[in-house]
A and B are shown apart, each in its own frame.
Chain A
Amino acid sequence: DAKTTQPPSMDCAEGRAANLPCNHSTISGNEYVYWYRQIHSQGPQYIIHGLKNNETNEMASLIITEDRKSSTLILPHATLRDTAVYYCIVRDYGGSQGNLIFGKGTKLSVKP
């Protein structure tokens, strides 16, 4: 079973920041938080991952709370093309063979 909890859906206005929350209260010390998204009928796309420090790349920012029990993915200026299902996944880095366990994710709808 997935070790994360996400809201099933969210709306965001185009041009505004989209903040997608994720709870992972049972995360262990060697588990990373990964975010993927899946645009309709396409394969999942890697966005970002982190352990305990906040991370930023060209797509998004990842904010992880100090206790690591939750995180937020931030899309700073959402566009219509960001409409997708966003998956938050916790995964042991370098331990097991590393298959990803997906939940149902958050369906983000960006509206004009």
Chain B
Amino acid sequence: DTGVSQNPRHKITKRGQNVTFRCDPISEHNRLYWYRQTLGQGPEFLTYFQNEAQLEKSRLLSDRFSAERPKGSFSTLEIQRTEQGDSAMYLCASSPTETQYFGPGTRLLVL
């Protein structure tokens, strides 16, 4: 399968813990996006990378959130001091130019 992959697929954590998610984009896609989706809503944009440069961040990306794409390939999204409101599906997408292709998502539950 050469699609976007995300790990882990599910994560349960206690409030106050840190979590890190990984996204492996489609090979040679230089653009990478992170979105968050809560129940009953459409995905909401968090941040965007072109190669290793983080070019855009949403207001949703609070100081507790950090994303990296160190070598312009895979990306990580870290949430520090998780809160119950962080419970959501975290989606990654990659694109060669304009059309974005999404991964299966990581579902986070903060207890």
Contact = CB atoms under 8 A, between A and B. Distances in A.
Contacts of A36: 102
Contact of B33 (A41, A94, A99, A103): A99
Nearest to B3: A43
Interface stretch (A9-17, A44-52, A59-67, A72-80): A44-52
A99 B48 contact: yes
Given A43-B102, A43-B105, A45-B102, A97 B56 contact: yes
B28 interface: no
A57 to B, nearest CB: 12
A69 interface: no
Which DSSP category, helix, strand, loop or mixed, fits chain A's interface? loop
Interface stretch (B11-19, B37-45, B69-77): B37-45
Interface in B7-64: 31, 33, 35, 40-45, 48, 50, 55-56, 58
Contacts of B104: 42-43
Nearest to A87: B42
A49 B101 CA distance: 13
A49 to B, nearest CB: 7
A100 B98 contact: no
B44 A102 contact: yes
A98 interface: yes
Given A97-B56, A99-B33, A99-B56, A46 B44 contact: no
Contacts of A2: 42
A46 to B, nearest CB: 6
Contacts of A87: 42
A87 B97 CA distance: 20
B3 to A, nearest CB: 9
18 contacts: A42-B105, A43-B91, A44-B93, A46-B102, A49-B99, A87-B42, A97-B48, A97-B55, A97-B56, A98-B95, A98-B98, A99-B33, A99-B56, A99-B58, A100-B33, A102-B42, A102-B44, A104-B40
